[in-house]
Amino acid sequence: MVSMVESASSGLLGAFKVLDHGAPEETHELAVGLMNRHRMRLGSNASGFQADIRATPAGGVSMLYFSYGVATEINSAPLPDFTTVQLPIRGRMEYAHGDEHGVAVPGGGAFFSEGEPVRTRWSSDLELLVLRVERAALARKLATLTGRRVSAPVVFSPVVGNGAAGRALTSTIVTLAEIYDRFGIDGLPPVIATEYEELVLSMLLLDHEHSSSDSVHSQIPALPGKAMRAAVRYIEEHYMQPLTAALLAEASYVGERTLYEGFQREFGITPMAYVRRFRLERAREALIAATPDDGATVAEISLSHGFGHLGRFAASYRERYGESPSETLRR
């Protein structure tokens, strides 16, 4: 079976190329600036070196793509103030991170955290998608989940497995790259950028083993009914604006983990899944209400309701309503 990552096009982040067919020296200098200090050693077929590097603008969460065209060994100093999730789209990557050793192939990947050197060996056909997460972004999100500040860096277990949590994370990272491609160098709309950053941070800290997992998953008090109603009302009144679980928790005067557990108990889904479901309902109402004179399109309606990926909006819509958005619009 072909994984979603394997089926992803090597055109990912195509609008964000920072180096095309670069020479080894130029490539190394740029990669050091984008990532970290490292030594790069090429395999026996160095004459085939053709570097392709792509990078979205820096932020709390950013994305990169690397392909060198030849077998390469990278020996990196410990990451200074960020964590990476590295996903092969094609090819394979052997890695050693601290005491951990493994092989990452499409459908899986590896976390590289602060504090330990990283050694990787790339196959000649490796196409590597990298999610870079800054320490400050992780610390902020961890504080909202636990209710207290943690000064030590978050250190993840290095394996991105092929279980449900691993598949969800790889799918989300690939989807984020596809959304970047849709909007190109103009950048993501604030509603999309804010919510995807929060989604990725939540997935990392809630679903994957790390040094603060015990704090994140400690006993959570039940969500009071008044707080639940406040959160739902806030969603209904602000669904066309950027929404995050942290913002909903603030609006209902509870901690983010309390909110998360409360929505799971009450609705069987996360707060942000509830937001997406509510937006889908409002988008359907807009599609039904549209007339030929409006000139409305599915793309415009989906984006105005917070859906940055048209294909995923259409798939979710069909799954819920049994027809495509365009079929609803034409009626």
pLDDT, averaged across the chain: 89
Q: What CATH homologous superfamily does 275-330 map to?
A: Homeodomain-like (1.10.10.60)
Per-residue pLDDT at 131 exceeds 90: yes
Q: How far apart are CA 64 and CA 12, in angstroms?
A: 10
The H or E element spanning position 112 is strand 109-112
pLDDT category at 98 given cuts 50, 70, 90 is confident
Q: How far apart are CA 274 and CA 162, in angstroms?
A: 26
Domain 4-198 is in which class? mainly beta
The candidate with the shortest Cα–Cα distance to 66, out of 127, 131, 23, 12, is 127
Q: How far apart are CA 131 and CA 144, in angstroms?
A: 22
Say which residue the tokens 């085939």 belong to. Answer: 48
Highest mean pLDDT among 92-96, 140-144, 152-156, 306-310: 92-96
Q: Give me the residue spans of the domains in the chain.
A: 4-198, 275-330
Using DSSP bridges, classify how beta strands 93-97 and 100-104 pair: parallel, antiparallel or unpaired: antiparallel
Torsion of CA 82, 191, 184, 313, to 10 degrees: 110
Per-residue pLDDT at 219 exceeds 70: no
pLDDT in tens, 226-244: 888 999 999 999 998 888 8
pTM of the complete model: 0.76
Coil vs helix vs strand at 91: coil
pLDDT category at 189 given cuts 50, 70, 90 is confident
Say which residue the tokens 């609006």 belong to. Answer: 251
Q: How far apart are CA 286 and CA 298, in angstroms?
A: 10
Tell me what the mean pLDDT of segment 182-203 comes to.
87
Query: What's the pLDDT at 2?
Result: 47
Query: What's the pLDDT at 252?
Result: 87
Per-residue pLDDT at 5 exceeds 60: no
Considering only 29-38, 165-174, 247-256, which range has the smallest mean pLDDT? 247-256
Residues 6+ apart with CB under 8 A from 76: 35, 36, 37, 38, 117, 118, 119, 120
Task: Give Cα separations from 77 to 39, 92, 110 (angstroms).
Answer: 9, 21, 17
- What is the DSSP secondary structure assignment for residue 210, as one 8-state letter? B
